[in-house]
Structure 1
């Protein structure tokens, strides 16, 4: 009975260690963050962005696209400070060069669509997921 308990504890401990060492499925991916800074009086149509713009852009990325996310800004992390971003759209792709090749011919169309959901000029950050 004691041996069974010890073996069970060892099994559970091994599982926790294995989970802690599991590689993140996003590690090594390229992350393109399109951030829309908050500014008094600026507008952002989240419904349009979620149902039209982001799916349109994603449709050009093909198998290179792993996933995309859409975030709606709620507040600053510092009390009594203004909201830093109205929204952030993020694409996770396998290859930056494939992403750039896919969006380059569509860039003018993507920018022309901005007027349908915002009057904010986005800030774009390209990064690599490290963990």
Structure 2
């Protein structure tokens, strides 16, 4: 039973592996407990497209310039597979923005900044992003 469970968990893990385009360790400060992680999930679906090159090089550069020093780290995942064999990937990409606190995120993501970032979305995808704000626990 343990071997079968281990095999299933290993398979699920391997199927869920994603390519990470995180900043290099020398550029990225340590992500620590208590930080705020803003996850931007881009759902897959019929006819959905995503330009990873534009997102990684231009959109995230725009985010860095607009959010300034309040933005502590960025990471990007490219979806490769789902946890179900032969099923499509649930998300085309996931972007992560890290902040010291909710207050610093809210201050940085004012109406003008939010509007500029949202206006850039059609330049790289036709998928409507889903945002989740989380606290880093580990």
Q: 1:62 corresponds to which residue?
A: 68
1:126 aligns with 2:128: no
3-state DSSP class of the match of 1:61? Answer: helix
Name the CA distance, whole Å, in 1 between partners of 2:31 and 2:123: 34
* Larger-gyration structure (1/2): 1
- Structure 2, unaligned stretches of length 5 or more? 1-29
Please report how far the alpha carbon of residue 25 of structure 1 lies from its aligned counterpart in structure 2 after TM superposition. Answer: 4.5
Aligned ranges for residues 33-112 of structure 1 at < 5 Å? 33-104=39-110, 105-112=112-119
- Misfit runs of 4+, over 4 Å: none
CA distance in 1 between counterparts of 2:107 and 2:72 reads 16
Equivalent pair of 2:82/2:88 in contact (CA under 8 Å):
yes
When structure 1 is superposed on structure 2, of 106-115 and 44-53 the one drifting more is 106-115
- 1:101/1:47 Cα in 2 relative to 1: closer, same or farther (>3 Å)? same
Match in the other structure for 1:28 = 34
- Which structure features the higher share of helix residues? 1
Residue 112 of structure 1 deviates from its aligned partner by 1.1
Secondary structure at 1:60's aligned position in 2? Answer: helix
State the alpha-carbon separation in 1 of the partners of residues 31 and 42 from structure 2.
27
1:16-48 superposed Cα distances (whole Å, 9 cap, x missing partner): xxxxxxxx8421110000000000211100000
Contact 1:33/1:90, CA 8 A, preserved across alignment? yes
CA distance in 1, matches of 2:40, 2:113: 16
Distance 1:25 1:91 in 2: 11
